[in-house]
Amino acid sequence: MKRRSFLQAAAATPLALAVPRAFAQQATFAPMSGDWKSYEILTRVEVLKPVGVSRVWIPLPSIDGPYQQTGANTWSGNATSAKVVSDGKYGASMMAAEWAPGEAAPVIEVTSRFQTRDRNTDFSRPDPSIKLEPAAREFYTASTSLIPVDGIVRTTAREVTKGAKTEMEKARAIYDWVVENTARDPKTRGCGVGDIKSMLETKTLSGKCADLNALYVGLARASGLPARDVYGIRVAKSQFGYRSLGAGSENITKAQHCRAEVFLTGYGWVPIDPADVRKVVLEEKPQPTTLADPVVPSVRKALFGGWEMNWLAYNDAHDVKLPGSNAKPIGFLMYPQCETAEGLRDSLDPDNFKYTITRKA
Protein backbone atom coordinates (compact mmCIF):
# COMPACT_ATOMS: atom_id res chain seq x y z
CA MET A 1 0.00 0.00 0.00
CA LYS A 2 1.32 3.44 -0.89
CA ARG A 3 2.05 5.74 2.05
CA ARG A 4 -0.61 8.24 0.98
CA SER A 5 -3.23 5.49 0.69
CA PHE A 6 -2.22 4.16 4.10
CA LEU A 7 -2.60 7.58 5.70
CA GLN A 8 -6.03 8.04 4.11
CA ALA A 9 -7.17 4.66 5.43
CA ALA A 10 -5.80 5.44 8.88
CA ALA A 11 -7.59 8.79 8.93
CA ALA A 12 -10.88 7.10 8.05
CA THR A 13 -10.60 4.49 10.81
CA PRO A 14 -11.73 6.71 13.75
CA LEU A 15 -14.81 7.72 11.77
CA ALA A 16 -15.69 4.09 11.14
CA LEU A 17 -15.22 3.26 14.80
CA ALA A 18 -17.44 6.22 15.72
CA VAL A 19 -20.45 4.72 13.94
CA PRO A 20 -22.79 3.30 16.60
CA ARG A 21 -22.70 -0.47 16.62
CA ALA A 22 -26.45 -0.72 16.01
CA PHE A 23 -26.12 1.22 12.76
CA ALA A 24 -23.09 -0.78 11.59
CA GLN A 25 -24.95 -4.08 12.05
CA GLN A 26 -28.31 -2.88 10.79
CA ALA A 27 -29.71 -4.96 7.95
CA THR A 28 -32.46 -4.27 5.45
CA PHE A 29 -35.77 -4.52 7.25
CA ALA A 30 -37.55 -7.40 5.52
CA PRO A 31 -39.79 -9.69 7.64
CA MET A 32 -40.61 -13.01 5.97
CA SER A 33 -42.87 -15.75 7.25
CA GLY A 34 -40.75 -18.55 8.68
CA ASP A 35 -40.22 -20.54 11.85
CA TRP A 36 -42.29 -20.09 14.98
CA LYS A 37 -40.72 -18.52 18.06
CA SER A 38 -41.98 -19.25 21.57
CA TYR A 39 -42.38 -16.61 24.26
CA GLU A 40 -43.53 -16.37 27.84
CA ILE A 41 -44.39 -13.12 29.63
CA LEU A 42 -45.16 -12.42 33.28
CA THR A 43 -47.49 -9.57 34.23
CA ARG A 44 -47.42 -8.57 37.89
CA VAL A 45 -50.06 -6.13 39.13
CA GLU A 46 -50.28 -4.44 42.52
CA VAL A 47 -53.25 -2.32 43.60
CA LEU A 48 -51.87 0.59 45.57
CA LYS A 49 -54.13 2.38 48.07
CA PRO A 50 -57.06 -0.07 47.73
CA VAL A 51 -60.51 1.22 48.64
CA GLY A 52 -63.42 -1.19 49.03
CA VAL A 53 -63.60 -3.97 46.44
CA SER A 54 -60.59 -3.94 44.09
CA ARG A 55 -60.75 -5.32 40.56
CA VAL A 56 -58.08 -5.78 37.91
CA TRP A 57 -58.25 -6.74 34.24
CA ILE A 58 -55.07 -7.93 32.51
CA PRO A 59 -55.10 -8.28 28.69
CA LEU A 60 -54.25 -11.75 27.43
CA PRO A 61 -53.21 -12.98 23.98
CA SER A 62 -56.53 -13.36 22.17
CA ILE A 63 -55.59 -13.77 18.51
CA ASP A 64 -54.85 -17.11 16.86
CA GLY A 65 -53.95 -17.46 13.21
CA PRO A 66 -51.11 -17.72 10.72
CA TYR A 67 -48.84 -15.37 12.67
CA GLN A 68 -49.69 -16.10 16.32
CA GLN A 69 -50.74 -19.11 18.38
CA THR A 70 -51.84 -18.61 21.97
CA GLY A 71 -50.96 -20.98 24.80
CA ALA A 72 -51.85 -21.34 28.45
CA ASN A 73 -52.46 -18.49 30.91
CA THR A 74 -51.86 -19.17 34.60
CA TRP A 75 -52.04 -16.95 37.68
CA SER A 76 -50.90 -16.71 41.28
CA GLY A 77 -51.47 -14.16 44.04
CA ASN A 78 -53.92 -13.30 46.82
CA ALA A 79 -57.02 -12.51 44.74
CA THR A 80 -60.36 -13.68 46.10
CA SER A 81 -61.17 -14.82 42.57
CA ALA A 82 -59.51 -14.75 39.15
CA LYS A 83 -60.79 -16.05 35.84
CA VAL A 84 -60.42 -15.55 32.10
CA VAL A 85 -63.25 -13.44 30.66
CA SER A 86 -64.04 -11.80 27.33
CA ASP A 87 -65.46 -8.44 26.29
CA GLY A 88 -68.15 -10.36 24.36
CA LYS A 89 -67.99 -8.29 21.18
CA TYR A 90 -64.47 -8.62 19.80
CA GLY A 91 -63.37 -11.70 21.72
CA ALA A 92 -60.76 -9.76 23.69
CA SER A 93 -59.61 -12.07 26.49
CA MET A 94 -58.46 -10.80 29.86
CA MET A 95 -57.72 -12.13 33.32
CA ALA A 96 -60.28 -10.59 35.69
CA ALA A 97 -59.29 -10.63 39.36
CA GLU A 98 -61.12 -9.35 42.43
CA TRP A 99 -60.18 -8.69 46.07
CA ALA A 100 -62.59 -8.27 48.97
CA PRO A 101 -62.59 -5.06 51.01
CA GLY A 102 -59.88 -5.09 53.65
CA GLU A 103 -57.14 -6.67 51.56
CA ALA A 104 -54.25 -4.29 52.24
CA ALA A 105 -51.97 -5.34 49.40
CA PRO A 106 -53.80 -6.88 46.44
CA VAL A 107 -51.39 -8.57 44.04
CA ILE A 108 -51.63 -10.96 41.10
CA GLU A 109 -49.14 -12.43 38.66
CA VAL A 110 -50.26 -13.78 35.27
CA THR A 111 -48.05 -15.86 32.99
CA SER A 112 -48.97 -16.03 29.30
CA ARG A 113 -47.39 -18.33 26.73
CA PHE A 114 -47.61 -17.88 22.97
CA GLN A 115 -45.81 -18.37 19.66
CA THR A 116 -45.33 -15.93 16.78
CA ARG A 117 -43.77 -15.81 13.33
CA ASP A 118 -43.12 -12.94 10.95
CA ARG A 119 -45.72 -11.83 8.39
CA ASN A 120 -45.23 -10.96 4.76
CA THR A 121 -47.91 -10.52 2.08
CA ASP A 122 -47.18 -11.76 -1.43
CA PHE A 123 -48.89 -9.13 -3.54
CA SER A 124 -47.91 -10.91 -6.76
CA ARG A 125 -50.33 -13.79 -6.11
CA PRO A 126 -53.87 -12.58 -5.37
CA ASP A 127 -56.54 -15.20 -4.74
CA PRO A 128 -59.99 -13.94 -5.86
CA SER A 129 -61.66 -16.42 -3.51
CA ILE A 130 -60.39 -14.51 -0.48
CA LYS A 131 -63.29 -12.23 0.40
CA LEU A 132 -64.86 -10.76 3.52
CA GLU A 133 -68.43 -11.68 4.36
CA PRO A 134 -70.89 -8.73 4.22
CA ALA A 135 -71.52 -8.77 7.98
CA ALA A 136 -67.80 -8.66 8.75
CA ARG A 137 -67.27 -5.92 6.16
CA GLU A 138 -69.99 -3.84 7.80
CA PHE A 139 -68.48 -4.48 11.25
CA TYR A 140 -64.96 -3.38 10.23
CA THR A 141 -66.09 -0.26 8.37
CA ALA A 142 -68.24 1.06 11.22
CA SER A 143 -67.49 3.99 13.51
CA THR A 144 -66.17 3.64 17.05
CA SER A 145 -66.15 6.31 19.74
CA LEU A 146 -62.62 7.40 18.80
CA ILE A 147 -62.70 6.48 15.12
CA PRO A 148 -65.74 8.03 13.39
CA VAL A 149 -66.07 7.52 9.65
CA ASP A 150 -68.20 10.54 8.78
CA GLY A 151 -67.63 14.30 8.82
CA ILE A 152 -64.03 15.46 8.58
CA VAL A 153 -62.76 11.87 8.52
CA ARG A 154 -64.75 11.03 5.39
CA THR A 155 -63.88 14.36 3.76
CA THR A 156 -60.18 13.75 4.40
CA ALA A 157 -60.42 10.17 3.15
CA ARG A 158 -61.90 11.36 -0.15
CA GLU A 159 -59.08 13.86 -0.60
CA VAL A 160 -56.40 11.30 0.26
CA THR A 161 -57.77 8.63 -2.11
CA LYS A 162 -58.69 10.95 -4.97
CA GLY A 163 -57.90 9.20 -8.23
CA ALA A 164 -57.47 5.79 -6.59
CA LYS A 165 -59.73 3.19 -8.20
CA THR A 166 -58.95 -0.16 -6.62
CA GLU A 167 -58.83 -1.31 -3.01
CA MET A 168 -55.07 -1.67 -3.28
CA GLU A 169 -54.63 1.84 -4.65
CA LYS A 170 -56.75 3.30 -1.87
CA ALA A 171 -54.97 1.32 0.84
CA ARG A 172 -51.55 2.41 -0.40
CA ALA A 173 -52.61 6.03 -0.86
CA ILE A 174 -53.80 6.20 2.75
CA TYR A 175 -50.63 4.51 4.00
CA ASP A 176 -48.38 6.94 2.12
CA TRP A 177 -50.42 9.92 3.28
CA VAL A 178 -50.19 8.91 6.95
CA VAL A 179 -46.46 8.23 6.64
CA GLU A 180 -45.78 11.57 4.94
CA ASN A 181 -48.12 13.85 6.88
CA THR A 182 -47.84 12.71 10.49
CA ALA A 183 -45.13 12.79 13.12
CA ARG A 184 -44.32 10.85 16.25
CA ASP A 185 -44.52 13.02 19.36
CA PRO A 186 -42.28 11.73 22.16
CA LYS A 187 -44.22 13.78 24.73
CA THR A 188 -47.46 11.84 24.14
CA ARG A 189 -48.49 9.80 27.19
CA GLY A 190 -48.30 6.07 26.69
CA CYS A 191 -49.24 5.10 23.15
CA GLY A 192 -51.68 7.97 22.70
CA VAL A 193 -55.47 8.12 22.71
CA GLY A 194 -56.50 7.63 19.06
CA ASP A 195 -59.04 10.46 18.84
CA ILE A 196 -58.72 10.97 15.09
CA LYS A 197 -61.57 13.48 14.72
CA SER A 198 -59.78 15.82 17.10
CA MET A 199 -56.47 15.23 15.32
CA LEU A 200 -57.93 16.23 11.96
CA GLU A 201 -59.95 19.17 13.27
CA THR A 202 -56.98 20.69 15.08
CA LYS A 203 -54.54 19.68 12.34
CA THR A 204 -52.42 18.07 15.05
CA LEU A 205 -51.31 15.03 13.09
CA SER A 206 -48.86 13.80 15.69
CA GLY A 207 -48.82 11.35 18.55
CA LYS A 208 -47.83 7.74 18.95
CA CYS A 209 -48.94 4.39 17.57
CA ALA A 210 -52.51 4.43 18.93
CA ASP A 211 -52.97 7.83 17.28
CA LEU A 212 -51.24 7.37 13.92
CA ASN A 213 -52.43 3.86 13.19
CA ALA A 214 -55.96 4.74 14.30
CA LEU A 215 -55.83 7.55 11.74
CA TYR A 216 -55.04 4.95 9.07
CA VAL A 217 -57.88 2.72 10.25
CA GLY A 218 -60.37 5.59 10.25
CA LEU A 219 -59.42 6.84 6.79
CA ALA A 220 -59.54 3.29 5.45
CA ARG A 221 -62.99 2.62 6.94
CA ALA A 222 -64.27 5.95 5.63
CA SER A 223 -63.04 4.84 2.18
CA GLY A 224 -65.00 1.59 2.40
CA LEU A 225 -61.99 -0.56 3.29
CA PRO A 226 -62.43 -2.86 6.30
CA ALA A 227 -59.65 -2.05 8.77
CA ARG A 228 -58.82 -2.57 12.42
CA ASP A 229 -56.30 -1.67 15.08
CA VAL A 230 -54.44 -4.53 16.74
CA TYR A 231 -53.24 -3.80 20.27
CA GLY A 232 -50.22 -5.52 21.75
CA ILE A 233 -46.72 -5.27 23.18
CA ARG A 234 -43.16 -5.69 21.89
CA VAL A 235 -41.43 -8.69 23.46
CA ALA A 236 -37.95 -8.91 21.90
CA LYS A 237 -35.29 -7.03 19.96
CA SER A 238 -35.57 -6.60 16.20
CA GLN A 239 -33.64 -9.26 14.31
CA PHE A 240 -32.77 -6.58 11.74
CA GLY A 241 -30.89 -4.39 14.19
CA TYR A 242 -33.46 -1.61 14.47
CA ARG A 243 -33.32 -0.56 18.12
CA SER A 244 -36.49 1.53 17.76
CA LEU A 245 -38.50 -1.48 16.53
CA GLY A 246 -37.92 -3.85 19.41
CA ALA A 247 -37.94 -4.26 23.17
CA GLY A 248 -34.68 -3.07 24.68
CA SER A 249 -34.65 -5.54 27.58
CA GLU A 250 -36.61 -8.28 29.29
CA ASN A 251 -38.58 -5.58 31.13
CA ILE A 252 -41.30 -4.72 28.59
CA THR A 253 -43.59 -2.79 30.94
CA LYS A 254 -43.61 0.24 28.65
CA ALA A 255 -43.26 -1.58 25.32
CA GLN A 256 -46.95 -1.50 24.33
CA HIS A 257 -47.50 -1.04 20.60
CA CYS A 258 -50.61 -0.78 18.44
CA ARG A 259 -50.60 -1.89 14.79
CA ALA A 260 -53.20 -1.97 12.03
CA GLU A 261 -54.65 -4.25 9.36
CA VAL A 262 -56.66 -3.57 6.24
CA PHE A 263 -58.69 -6.22 4.42
CA LEU A 264 -58.02 -6.39 0.68
CA THR A 265 -60.01 -8.75 -1.51
CA GLY A 266 -57.67 -11.40 -2.87
CA TYR A 267 -55.17 -11.04 -0.01
CA GLY A 268 -57.13 -11.08 3.25
CA TRP A 269 -56.05 -9.09 6.30
CA VAL A 270 -52.94 -7.17 5.28
CA PRO A 271 -50.62 -6.03 8.09
CA ILE A 272 -49.47 -2.41 8.05
CA ASP A 273 -47.77 -0.05 10.49
CA PRO A 274 -47.22 3.56 9.35
CA ALA A 275 -46.63 4.59 12.98
CA ASP A 276 -43.46 2.52 13.14
CA VAL A 277 -42.12 4.28 10.05
CA ARG A 278 -42.42 7.56 11.94
CA LYS A 279 -40.84 5.92 15.00
CA VAL A 280 -37.76 5.03 12.96
CA VAL A 281 -37.55 8.61 11.68
CA LEU A 282 -37.65 9.99 15.21
CA GLU A 283 -35.78 7.42 17.28
CA GLU A 284 -33.52 5.17 15.24
CA LYS A 285 -30.61 7.60 15.22
CA PRO A 286 -29.36 9.83 18.06
CA GLN A 287 -31.04 12.77 16.35
CA PRO A 288 -34.35 12.73 14.40
CA THR A 289 -33.87 12.14 10.69
CA THR A 290 -36.11 12.20 7.59
CA LEU A 291 -38.02 9.77 5.40
CA ALA A 292 -35.14 9.95 2.93
CA ASP A 293 -32.57 8.65 5.42
CA PRO A 294 -31.15 5.23 4.41
CA VAL A 295 -32.54 3.60 7.56
CA VAL A 296 -36.14 4.38 6.57
CA PRO A 297 -37.01 3.15 3.02
CA SER A 298 -36.84 -0.60 3.70
CA VAL A 299 -39.00 -0.12 6.81
CA ARG A 300 -41.52 1.95 4.90
CA LYS A 301 -41.70 -0.65 2.15
CA ALA A 302 -41.96 -3.66 4.46
CA LEU A 303 -44.59 -2.22 6.81
CA PHE A 304 -47.17 -2.15 4.06
CA GLY A 305 -47.79 -5.89 3.97
CA GLY A 306 -45.53 -7.18 6.71
CA TRP A 307 -44.80 -7.24 10.43
CA GLU A 308 -41.80 -8.47 12.33
CA MET A 309 -43.38 -10.58 15.05
CA ASN A 310 -41.12 -9.73 17.96
CA TRP A 311 -44.47 -8.52 19.22
CA LEU A 312 -47.52 -9.99 20.94
CA ALA A 313 -51.02 -9.22 19.65
CA TYR A 314 -53.52 -8.93 22.50
CA ASN A 315 -56.74 -8.04 20.65
CA ASP A 316 -58.40 -5.76 18.08
CA ALA A 317 -61.12 -4.46 20.41
CA HIS A 318 -62.57 -0.95 20.57
CA ASP A 319 -64.92 0.58 23.16
CA VAL A 320 -64.21 -2.24 25.61
CA LYS A 321 -66.69 -2.81 28.44
CA LEU A 322 -64.68 -4.43 31.23
CA PRO A 323 -66.76 -7.34 32.59
CA GLY A 324 -67.95 -6.56 36.09
CA SER A 325 -66.79 -2.95 35.97
CA ASN A 326 -68.92 0.01 36.98
CA ALA A 327 -67.02 2.31 34.64
CA LYS A 328 -67.83 3.38 31.10
CA PRO A 329 -66.19 1.44 28.23
CA ILE A 330 -62.53 2.24 27.58
CA GLY A 331 -61.27 3.09 24.10
CA PHE A 332 -59.04 0.01 23.83
CA LEU A 333 -57.47 -2.69 26.01
CA MET A 334 -53.66 -2.59 25.80
CA TYR A 335 -52.69 -1.88 29.43
CA PRO A 336 -53.75 -3.62 32.64
CA GLN A 337 -56.79 -1.92 34.16
CA CYS A 338 -57.76 -1.38 37.81
CA GLU A 339 -60.93 -0.28 39.59
CA THR A 340 -61.67 0.37 43.26
CA ALA A 341 -64.62 1.87 45.06
CA GLU A 342 -63.26 5.25 43.94
CA GLY A 343 -63.55 4.31 40.25
CA LEU A 344 -61.26 3.30 37.41
CA ARG A 345 -57.57 4.02 38.02
CA ASP A 346 -55.28 5.67 35.48
CA SER A 347 -53.24 2.86 33.91
CA LEU A 348 -50.35 5.27 33.36
CA ASP A 349 -50.23 6.50 36.97
CA PRO A 350 -47.67 4.35 38.82
CA ASP A 351 -48.30 6.15 42.13
CA ASN A 352 -51.77 4.59 42.35
CA PHE A 353 -51.58 1.52 40.12
CA LYS A 354 -48.37 -0.46 39.69
CA TYR A 355 -47.59 -3.19 37.19
CA THR A 356 -44.56 -4.75 35.56
CA ILE A 357 -44.44 -6.93 32.45
CA THR A 358 -41.41 -9.13 31.96
CA ARG A 359 -40.37 -11.45 29.15
CA LYS A 360 -39.14 -14.63 30.75
CA ALA A 361 -35.88 -15.93 29.29
Asked whether residue 11 is assigned to any structural domain, the reply reads no
* Rg value, the chain, Cα: 22
Q: What is the pLDDT of residues 109-131, one digit of tens each?
A: 999 999 999 999 999 999 999 99
- How many residues comprise the chain? 361
On whether both 248 and 327 belong to a single domain, the answer is: no
- The sign one gets for the Cα dihedral 156, 157, 158, 162 is positive
Query: Is residue 142, in this structure, part of any structural domain at all?
Result: yes
Domain that holds residue 127: 121-308
The answer to pTM > 0.75 is: yes
Q: Do residue 88 and residue 165 come from a single domain? A: no
Give the rounded percent of residues in the chain with a pLDDT score beyond 70.
Answer: 93
The answer on pLDDT for 354 being more than 80 is: yes
Q: Do 70 and 165 have their domain in common?
A: no
- Exposure class string for 339-350: b at 16+ Cβ within 10 A, else e: bbeeebbebeee
Residues 21-34 have a mean pLDDT of 73
CA 157 – CA 175 distance, rounded (Å): 11
Task: Evaluate whether residue 23 is within a structural domain.
Answer: no
Q: Which of 271, 290, 308 is the last residue of a domain?
A: 308
What is the Cα–Cα distance from 277 to 38, expressed in whole angstroms?
A: 26
Statement to judge: residues 97 and 136 lie in one domain: no
The whole-angstrom distance between residue 167's C-alpha and the CA centroid of its chain comes to 23
**How confident is the model over 230-279, as pLDDT tens digits?**
999 999 999 999 999 999 999 999 999 999 999 999 999 999 999 999 99
Q: pLDDT class for 26, splitting at 50, 70, 90?
A: low
Say if 246 falls within a structural domain: yes
Looking at this protein, which amino acid is placed at residue 166? T
> What CATH number is associated with residue 59?
2.60.40.2250
Give the pLDDT of residue 27. Answer: 72
d(CA 201, CA 79): 45
Determine the average pLDDT of the residues in 330-338. 98
Is residue 26 domain-resident? no
**Is 262 a domain residue?**
yes
Residues 222, 179 share a domain: yes
Q: Which residues of 127-159 are buried (b: 16+ CB within 10 A; e: fewer)?
A: eeeeebeeeebeebbebbebbbbeeebbebbee
Q: Are residues 109 and 158 in the same domain?
A: no
**Residues contacting residue 85 through CB under 8 Å, at least 6 positions apart:** 57, 93, 94, 95, 96, 323, 324
pLDDT at 62 over 80: yes
pLDDT score recorded for residue 23: 46
- Residue 18 inside a domain? The answer is no
Domain at 169, CATH number: 3.10.620.30
Residues 233 and 338 in one domain: no
Q: How far apart are CA 349 and CA 347, in angstroms?
A: 6
Residues 195 and 265 in one domain: yes
**Which of 276, 292, 308 represents a domain boundary (last residue)?**
308
- Give the list of residues 6+ apart from residue 181 with CB closer than 8 angstroms, or none: 205
> 196 and 271: one domain?
yes
Check whether residue 182 and residue 164 sit in a common domain: yes
The reply to whether 178 and 294 lie within a common domain is yes
Q: How many domains does the chain have?
A: 2
Inside any domain, residue 10 = no
- Which one-letter amino acid corresponds to residue 290? T
* Domain limit, last residue, from 290, 308, 326: 308
Distance, CA of 46 to CA of 105 (rounded, Å): 7
Residues 227 and 320 in one domain: no
